[in-house]
Structures are given as structure tokens and as C-alpha cells.
Chain A
């Protein structure tokens, strides 16, 4: 079992302390909960009320506020914010960075997951912990590391200047920073699935003469597809929303190195709150989609287990 970690998205597959192979009668998340008789109805109501009130203050009201603020001057104002050139440029750059980062980290994540789940070697637990490091390092420190490597006075600074390649204050640096903070997601989601599926089917395919690539595409892939898909979605969500690490390496040049989250901060600082909230709605919708998808994956895996 892999130790649960700083993974900000504990997936259905690697919830902490959960046995991988649950007996069906041991997993009833959905059965109606019967409060013990000695617990009074009053106490139950008070506890539910306090929990909801706390969540409302910290979570629900701020989330609702995003949508109210974005539309409080009408749909027209909202849409006119969405066609402003600075905004569309920020969206474009965000999409490009995401389109580069997600496939790269998907390939790496699959390789790492396979290497870790299918091999037993000295230092395996350490490698899993190392893999999680990007989750526990502050994004600003992550950005700082990239600057120290590729900046003007960094390790590769002279080399890059000689070749006339700019990485810091330009999009390649932003890609590197985004790739750093999203590095563990795919591997984290795929490892537990690979471990649960086991090697029987793959070995059967091998004895029947299948090649490695055939085994991967036709045996392994169908088994891990939901975990992989969820990992990709998390990578995508974080890549589009990353702020700290990208802010450090980008220089935040409008219409050049400004992504959507940077655009939001900049608009807010310029007292264009309305514009900031219009952009924020897009990212908030992305978050909602991610959560809905998480629910779907959770149900799929639950059905499979029972």
C-alpha cells in the first residue's frame, strides 16, 4: 500500500487508511446512518447546524459570491469582459501551457506509476515520498528553484544566453514551473489502481505471446483508464489554476506572460473587480467540473468493487 500523502486530491482509489480490497459489506458509504438511540435529536440538529454554518462562512458564501459578483452588472457586462484582448490573450496562454504540460506529465506519470507499482526495489518508499515533494514545497519556492536554474545568473544562464534562449520571464519558464507543481498527480492516481489490478492479466497476455506495447494498450490501459483520466483532470485543473510558481517565473507582462490567474490578480489590484470576477467564473466552473467528475469516478470504482 502506498502511504497517503500531501496529495491535495485524495482520490477514491487512495483514500488514506483504506484497504484496497474492501469486502462489499464493509463499504456502505450510502446506507442510511442510524444515530444511536442515546443520542438525542437535539444534539444531532445542533451539530449539523454548526457544521453547515462553518462551511457556509468559509466555503459556500465565498463560492456563491464568485458568481454573484461576475453577473451583478448583467450578462452583457460579463460577456464584454470576456472579449477584451488582455483577457483572451491570458486565456490563450493558459491553454497553451496546459496543452504542453498535461501530455508530458501524463507520459511521465504512467512511466513512474509502472516503475513503482510493478517493481520492488530498494528505496521504493523513499521514491514515493520524493514523488510527492512538489505538493509540500511552497509554489513560490518552486518558482525560485526554476529561476535559480534557468535565470540570468542561474546554472544554465550563460549557456542559454549564448544560445539566445529566454526561459525566465517567458513561456518556457512558465511551462517548467507548471510541470513542477503538477508532476505527481497522474502517478499518484495510477499507482493504487495498478497495485490493485495485480499482474495476472498482464502475465497471461505475455504467455499468450503479446508484445509489451500490446499488453500496455489492450490489457493495462483498460484497467487504469479511470484513474488515469482523473489524474489528467487534476493535472489540467492545477495547471490552469497555478498562481504562485508561475507568478515568480513569468514577470507578469500583460499580453505576453500573463495567465488567467495572474490576470485575475492584476485586474483586482487595478480595482477592476468586475473584470477579475468574470475571469474567476471560468476557473470556478473548471473547479466544479473537476468535482463532478470526481464524483463520477468515485461511483464507477465503487460499482466495480461491489
Chain B
């Protein structure tokens, strides 16, 4: 349909105004700094420390959610137990709950005198206002991704394969590693990558639960915010560009993972 219709024009106009122009503004502003200057700002001490906190913590929580997400998806798909439907529906809560509310309640529950934090405080473990708190917030917001990407794949998996493996004498471990896990791998990795991507960009819940101290629990998005508050637009832009490029990279990886996953569909 080569005719240029109204919806077609609205789509491109809106995308240009709302999406392409803002991205162009960021990239052109970043391009206006010299490469040496860009590199200096992007790799200065404080920035490097925020990458460490942001990406390493996000990766650890994503993997953590990978393991537990697989377990939760398995339990929800394969087992029948009272309250299963409610638990299933509640998995989406981190998608629907505003991040400010999540940060507020996590900071309270995991503070030294909170419901859960007080259990750890006697052992000298502080959770809120430390990097552990950042990890908890990231775990909360990225929890649903692995569960939701795995569920449909698990549902379509044929149990006969497992039964065949058992009847041929495979042990439970062998069945899990050789029969169950391989077809789940693309979906599992996609879920982990989605969760990682979400955790890397998260701002609201982390700024509340963390102490936001450089070199300890300051994440990259909060550093961007702080630089903007000091009207350091160049500093903010450089960091923002680094984050944008990394999220584009993750997006590419996710698309490749999904293409890999579709091979199993056939």
C-alpha cells in the first residue's frame, strides 16, 4: 500500500518529534565534545565506580533471578497448589507498582529496624543504604522477566520427553541438565538479558533505597541526575550516551537470543 495515509503520517511525525529528535539531541550533544574529552569524562574515577556498582550488581541480580525465576516458572506451570493463580498474577506486581513505591517499601522493610532488615542487623549485615540494597531493588524490579519468558515455553514442552528419559534410566540430574534445560536456554537467557537491561536503567527505587555514596552504592543513572542538578550538561550527556549505547547493545543481544529461541519453535 504505497499510498501515504493519515495514520502513517501521524506515526512518523510523532516518532520524529518524540523519539528520534530527543535521541538525536543527546547524540549530537555528545558528539560536540572532543573524543579525548568524552573518554576522560566517561572513564573518570567516579564514573568507573558507578559502572561497577550498576553493571556488576545488575548482572548478579539478573543471574540470581535466572535461577529463582526458573524455579518459580517451573512450580507455577507444573504443580497445582492452593493460591497458585494468585501467586501467578502477583508475579507482575513489579511491572505495575510505581518504582517510588517499590523503593519506599523496600527501604523500610530492609532497613536495620525493618521486618527483614532487623533479622540481618544482629549479624552486622546492613541492607538498605548499601550496595546490597541496590541489589534488592534490582531483584524486585527484574523479577518477572525470567518467569514470564519461561512460562509459555515450559507450557509447550512435552512431558513425554522427560518420561522417556526416566524410563531409559536417566537420573533426575541427567534429565534436568540434558533434557529439560537445553530447550529452555534461549528463553532463560532472554529473560536474564531483559532483567539485566531493566536493572541497569532503573532509577526510582534505587535512589530511595541506596545511600547514593560514590564508590559505594552510587549507580550511573543517579550520577547523571546529580550532574544535571549541578548543571553539568556535558558530564550528564557523556554518561547518558554511554548508558544509551549499552542498552542498545543489550537490545541487539536480546533480538539475537529471540531469533535463536524461534528455532526451537519450528
**Residues in A lying within 8 Å of B, measured CB to CB:** 3-6, 8-10, 15-19, 26, 29, 32-33, 35-36, 38-39, 44, 47-48, 50-52, 54-55, 57-63, 65-66, 69, 107-108, 110-112, 114-115, 118-119, 129-134, 136-142, 144-149, 151, 153-155, 176, 179-180, 183, 237, 240-244, 247-248, 260-262, 264-265, 268, 273, 276-277, 280, 283-284, 286-288, 290-292, 294-295
Give chain A residues whose Cβ lies under 8 Å from the Cβ of B131.
Answer: none
Quick one: which of B140, B155, B187, B244 contacts A62, CB cutoff 8 A? B140
Q: Which of B186-212 contact A (CB under 8 A)?
A: 187, 190, 194, 197-198, 200-204, 207-208
Kindly state whether residue B26 has any CB partner on chain A within 8 Å. yes
| Bound Cα distance from A32 to B258, whole angstroms | 30
Q: Is the CB of A280 within 8 A of B100?
A: yes
| A145 and B204 within 8 A (CB) | no
Query: Given A47-B74, A62-B102, A138-B243, does the pair A17, B187 have CB atoms closer than 8 Å?
Result: yes
Per-residue A-contact encoding for B46-82, CB less than 8 Å = 1, 0 else = 0000000000000000000000100110111111110
If A61-B116, A119-B1 touch, does A139 touch B201 (CB 8 Å cutoff)?
yes
* Residues on the A chain within 8 Å of B14, using CB: 108, 111-112
Contact between chains at A273 and B18 (CB < 8 Å):
no
CB-defined contacts of B265 to chain A, threshold 8 Å: 17, 19
| Interface: B95 (CB within 8 A) | yes
CA distance A36 to B243 in the complex (A): 46
- Which of B19, B207, B225 contacts A183, CB < 8 Å? B19
Partner of A137, one of B105, B159, B247: B247
A6 to B97, CA, bound (A): 17
B residues whose Cβ falls under 8 Å from a Cβ of A: 1, 5-8, 10-11, 14-15, 18-19, 21-23, 25-26, 29, 68, 71-72, 74-81, 87, 89-109, 114-116, 136, 139-140, 143-144, 148-149, 151-153, 155-156, 159, 162-163, 166, 172, 187, 190, 194, 197-198, 200-204, 207-208, 221-222, 224-225, 228, 233, 236-237, 240, 243-244, 247-248, 250-251, 254-255, 258, 261-262, 265
A144: B residues at CB distance < 8 A = 26, 224, 228, 236-237, 240
Whether B200 lies near A265 (C-beta < 8 A) is no
- CB < 8 Å neighbour of B97 from A4, A63, A179, A294: A63
Contacting residues, chain B, for A276 (C-beta < 8 A) = 104
Contact A291 B93 (CB under 8 A): yes
Contact among A35, A108, A145, A291 with B11 in the assembled complex (CB-CB below 8 Å):
A108
In the complex, the answer to whether A141 meets B243 with C-beta atoms within 8 Å is yes
Contact between chains at B25 and A154 (CB < 8 Å): yes
- A136 vs B143: C-alpha distance when bound (angstroms): 16
A-B contact pairs, 30 of them (CB 8 A): A9-B92, A17-B149, A44-B79, A52-B87, A54-B72, A57-B116, A59-B93, A61-B115, A62-B109, A63-B90, A65-B109, A65-B114, A65-B115, A69-B105, A132-B251, A138-B201, A138-B221, A141-B221, A146-B22, A240-B98, A241-B99, A261-B204, A264-B104, A265-B100, A268-B208, A280-B101, A283-B97, A287-B101, A291-B92, A291-B96
A82 to chain B, nearest CB (A): 16
Are the C-beta atoms of B208 and A265 separated by less than 8 Å? yes
The 8 nearest A-B residue pairs measured at CB? A241-B98, A138-B201, A145-B22, A243-B204, A244-B203, A111-B7, A261-B100, A287-B96
Closest chain-B Cβ to A304's Cβ sits at a distance in Å of 18
Please give the distance in Å from A21's CB to the nearest CB on chain B: 13
